[in-house]
């Protein structure tokens, strides 16, 4: 009887589409939590663990339940499944398969199947009760609840929860929301307040400002600034998460920028990797315990489809077998090992791919978003087809985004890398400014008045730079070094600064000499503040010296940016291209001169 396999087959008709239901139904982390399972532990040093599997454990009713699990198989948005082999507890093996198909009259038919083999008499008695009776009703109820939320255009943040505030926490939250509204962040502050008041603990574990800004239809920059102000006010806690290049999940998480380091490790993928500021360091938030306590770790599943959503097809194919499937793909580039594909409406509707000992037999093909695939495994070993999107998510507020905001540098001036740490930044835009004839001005009008004029020019620059999504890194004499994420913002800030200087008048007139350049660099800490160095910095610093004043010199890298091209055409400004030998660089540099 212990070898008996129990099989349960549940069906439910839902009103929403497969694509709309998938983020809920395939979020196995949330589903396990909603069904009442306890949080899991990931055992990284488990004995006798086979490659490609993960040893997981939880305790329920005082009993240890432990199992080995390979990542789920799935095809978005049609089906997903998993096999769990237990090493402790009342169950020997469990298999799960969920399939979603469209109903002829609209909506989705969800079929959810479970196979379970008991490991002992307790399992023989518990499986028919726990799975056959309790889960049968519970699962269907949860899927219908998800469907109701989708029908209302809701998200995971709308799932009802029992909320427990810290003593005085709700008052502190209300006070912040009121103050933030007075400072111009009213809509964002009210949305954030509602989130903390009603969302469940799992939804509040990892708040991503850009994702929420898109959800709320509010500006990303202002939302990020509001979150930074909330963190400074003690309403939110800020964390720096190091994202793994493999699974793109959180390899490491730190409470301070000083804890971030160049080398990181992902327990899920079991790999070491280097990090960079503009891709793999994401800034996230969660409620401060003085407002609303949230458990440090809430993990109920680590291998489900939503754990790596950039992979729409993740399916094991046995030797000599063929996987015949279709998936819904977003436009863009995809990779299958070393083979690359481009998804576009102009692509092929059906693709046949064969895996040999030399790899896949085709690459570089264009594929329709709903193409049909035939993956044939001609090797002697099983193979996991992982068809993955190569582009990184665009809704992550990275360290490069945050550290280029003046609000961050003003509120968190002590947030810096530890001494000696160097983190690469794949691409950033730098601006260096200088004042023309400032030394002569001190002689002409005296030190006091001249210094006042210089301070006035600093205030104008700071306002213009902050207004255009940048931040001042440091001042050097009467010069400024600033950083931006987008090249066009640096040019706009330069133009705004020049116009503001013109408007204040005074004698002698103030003329800016500005250099702007984009490229990779290294983030470091100098003089206890976040700074940058490298060839990009060196070149940018020398560009103001090529300006006669009242103009900006910018590089070819800046000129080629599509937003810069559009801005130059729309602004009808006069600029000329020239080549110039720059000190420290062997070859002449392609540059552009723009009169302000």
Q: What is the pLDDT of residues 84-127, one digit of tens each?
A: 999 999 999 999 999 999 999 999 999 999 999 999 999 999 99
Domain around 362? 329-379
For residue 183, give the DSSP letter.
I
Q: Note the pLDDT of residue 295.
A: 87
- For residues 150 and 100, is the Cβ–Cβ distance under 8 A? no
Cα separation, 590 vs 255, whole angstroms: 42
Q: Which of 432, 538, 435 is nearest to 478 (CA)?
A: 435
Does 45 share its domain with 151?
yes
Q: List pLDDT tens digits, range 50-75.
A: 888 999 999 988 899 999 998 999 99
34, two tokens: 């909603």
Does 429 share its domain with 559?
yes
- Residue 477 binned pLDDT confidence (cut-offs 50, 70, 90): confident
Does 141 share its domain with 241?
no
Cα separation, 416 vs 403, whole angstroms: 10
Q: Is residue 442 over pLDDT 80? A: no
Cα separation, 349 vs 328, whole angstroms: 12
- For residues 59 and 65, is the Cβ–Cβ distance under 8 A? yes
309 lies in some domain: no
Cα separation, 307 vs 309, whole angstroms: 6
Does 154 share its domain with 270?
no
The SS3 assignment for 498 reads: helix
H helix or E strand, kind and range, residue 57: strand 54-60
Q: Note the pLDDT of residue 276.
A: 86
Does 190 share its domain with 229?
yes
Cα separation, 569 vs 571, whole angstroms: 6
Does 534 share its domain with 448?
yes
320 lies in some domain: no
Q: Determine the average pLDDT of the residues in 480-497.
A: 95
Q: Determine the average pLDDT of the residues in 458-478.
A: 91
- For residues 400 and 277, is the Cβ–Cβ distance under 8 A? yes
Does 340 share its domain with 219?
no
91 lies in some domain: yes
Q: In degrees, to the nearest 5, what angle opens at C-alpha 264 toward C-alphas 27 and 531?
A: 110
Does 153 share its domain with 192?
no
CA R_g for the chain: 28
CB proximity list for 167: less than 8 A, separation 6 or greater: none
Q: Determine the average pLDDT of the residues in 413-427.
A: 87
Q: Determine the average pLDDT of the residues in 300-307.
A: 92
Q: At 101, which CATH number?
A: 3.30.530.20
Q: Note the pLDDT of residue 369.
A: 95
Q: List pLDDT tens digits, range 152-180.
A: 998 988 887 889 999 999 999 999 999 99
- Residue 393 binned pLDDT confidence (cut-offs 50, 70, 90): confident
Does 115 share its domain with 185?
no
Q: Which of 292, 314, 341 is the last residue of a domain?
A: 292
Q: Note the pLDDT of residue 194.
A: 94
Is residue 103 packed enough to be buried (19+ CB in 10 Å), middle (13-18) or exposed (0-12)? Answer: exposed
- Most confident stretch, 45-59, 226-240, 424-438: 226-240
Q: Note the pLDDT of residue 248.
A: 86
Q: Is residue 509 over pLDDT 80? A: no
Q: Note the pLDDT of residue 104.
A: 92
228 lies in some domain: yes
Does 22 share its domain with 114?
yes
For residue 436, give the DSSP letter.
T
Identify the residue whose tokens are 């994420």. Answer: 485
- Most confident stretch, 34-38, 79-83, 130-134: 79-83
% of the chain beyond a pLDDT of 70: 96
394 lies in some domain: no
Q: At 579, which CATH number?
A: 3.30.70.1230
107 lies in some domain: yes
- Count the neighbouring beta carbons within 10 Å of the beta carbon of residue 8: 17
Q: Which of 158, 188, 205 is the last residue of a domain?
A: 158
Does 498 share its domain with 410?
yes
Q: Note the pLDDT of residue 269.
A: 83
286 or 251, greater pLDDT: 286
Q: List pLDDT tens digits, range 18-43.
A: 999 999 999 999 999 999 999 999 99
Q: Is residue 587 over pLDDT 90? A: no
Q: List pLDDT tens digits, range 189-208.
A: 999 999 999 999 999 999 99
Mean pLDDT across the chain: 91
517, two tokens: 């350049």
308 lies in some domain: no
Q: Note the pLDDT of residue 48.
A: 87
Q: In degrees, to the nearest 5, what angle opens at C-alpha 510 toward C-alphas 506 and 514?
A: 160
Q: Is residue 463 over pLDDT 80? A: yes
Q: List pLDDT tens digits, range 315-351.
A: 999 999 999 999 999 999 999 998 999 999 999 999 9
Q: List pLDDT tens digits, range 143-152.
A: 999 999 999 9
- Residue 467 binned pLDDT confidence (cut-offs 50, 70, 90): very high
How many CA atoms are closer than 13 Å to the CA of 57, on its beta-carbon side? 14
Cα separation, 210 vs 403, whole angstroms: 15
Q: Determine the average pLDDT of the residues in 515-533.
A: 91
Q: Which of 364, 379, 394 is the last residue of a domain?
A: 379
Number of folded domains that form the chain: 4
Q: Determine the average pLDDT of the residues in 429-441.
A: 80
Does 16 share its domain with 131?
yes
How long is the chain?
596
178 lies in some domain: yes
């Amino acid at each position: 009887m212990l070898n008996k396999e129990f099989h349960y087959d549940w069906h439910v008709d839902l009103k929403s589409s497969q694509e709309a239901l998938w983020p809920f139904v395939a979020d196995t982390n949330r589903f396990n939590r909603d069904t009442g399972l306890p949080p899991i532990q990931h055992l990284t040093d488990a004995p006798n663990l086979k490659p490609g599997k993960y040893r997981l454990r939880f305790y329920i009713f005082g009993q240890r339940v432990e199992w080995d699990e390979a990542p789920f198989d799935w095809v978005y948005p049609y089906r997903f499944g998993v096999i769990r082999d237990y090493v402790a507890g009342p169950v020997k093996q469990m298999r799960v398969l969920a399939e979603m198909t469209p109903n002829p009259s609209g909506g989705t038919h969800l079929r959810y199947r479970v196979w379970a083999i008991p490991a002992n008499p307790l399992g023989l008695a518990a499986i028919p009760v726990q799975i056959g009776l309790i889960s049968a009703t519970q699962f269907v109820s949860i899927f219908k609840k998800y469907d109701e939320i989708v029908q209302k255009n809701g998200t995971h943040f709308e799932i009802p929860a029992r909320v427990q505030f810290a003593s005085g926490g709700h008052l502190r939250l209300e006070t912040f929301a009121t103050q933030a509204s007075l400072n111009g962040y009213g809509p964002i502050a009210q949305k954030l307040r509602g989130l903390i008041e009603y969302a469940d603990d799992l939804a509040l574990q990892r708040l991503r400002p850009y994702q929420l800004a898109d959800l709320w239809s509010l500006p990303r920059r202002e939302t990020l600034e509001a979150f930074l102000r909330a963190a400074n006010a003690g309403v939110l806690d800020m964390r720096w998460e190091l994202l793994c290049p493999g699974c793109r999940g959180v390899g490491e998480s730190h409470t301070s920028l000083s804890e971030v380091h160049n080398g990181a490790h992902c327990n899920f993928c079991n790999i070491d990797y280097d990090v960079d500021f503009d891709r793999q360091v994401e800034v996230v938030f969660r409620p401060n315990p003085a407002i609303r306590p949230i458990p440090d770790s809430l993990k109920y599943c680590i291998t489900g489809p939503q754990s790596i959503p950039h992979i729409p097809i993740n399916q094991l194919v046995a030797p000599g077998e063929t996987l015949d499937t279709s998936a819904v793909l977003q436009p863009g580039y995809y990779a299958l090992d070393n083979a690359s594909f481009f998804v576009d409406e102009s692509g092929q509707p059906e693709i046949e791919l064969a895996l040999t000992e030399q790899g896949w037999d085709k690459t570089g093909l264009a594929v329709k978003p709903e193409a049909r695939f035939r993956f044939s495994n001609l090797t002697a070993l099983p193979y996991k087809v992982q068809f993955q999107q190569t582009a990184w998510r665009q809704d992550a507020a990275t360290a490069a985004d945050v550290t280029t905001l003046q609000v961050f540098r003003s509120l968190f001036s002590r947030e810096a890398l530890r001494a000696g740490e160097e983190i690469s930044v794949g691409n950033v835009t730098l601006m260096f400014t200088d004042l023309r004839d400032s030394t002569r001005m001190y002689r002409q009008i005296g030190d006091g008045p001249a210094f006042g004029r210089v301070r006035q020019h600093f205030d104008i620059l700071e306002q213009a730079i902050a207004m255009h999504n940048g931040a001042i890194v440091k001042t050097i004499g009467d010069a400024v070094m600033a950083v931006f994420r987008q090249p066009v913002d640096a040019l706009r800030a330069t133009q705004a600064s020049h116009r503001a200087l013109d408007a204040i008048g005074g004698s002698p007139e103030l003329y800016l000499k500005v250099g702007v350049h984009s490229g990779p660099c290294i983030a470091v800490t100098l003089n206890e503040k976040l700074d940058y160095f490298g060839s990009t910095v060196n070149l940018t610093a020398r560009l103001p010296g090529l300006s006669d004043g009242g103009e900006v010199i910018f590089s070819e890298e800046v000129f080629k940016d599509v937003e810069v091209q559009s801005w130059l055409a729309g602004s009808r400004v006069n600029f000329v291209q020239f080549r110039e030998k720059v000190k420290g660089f062997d070859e002449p540099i392609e540059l552009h001169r723009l009169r302000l």
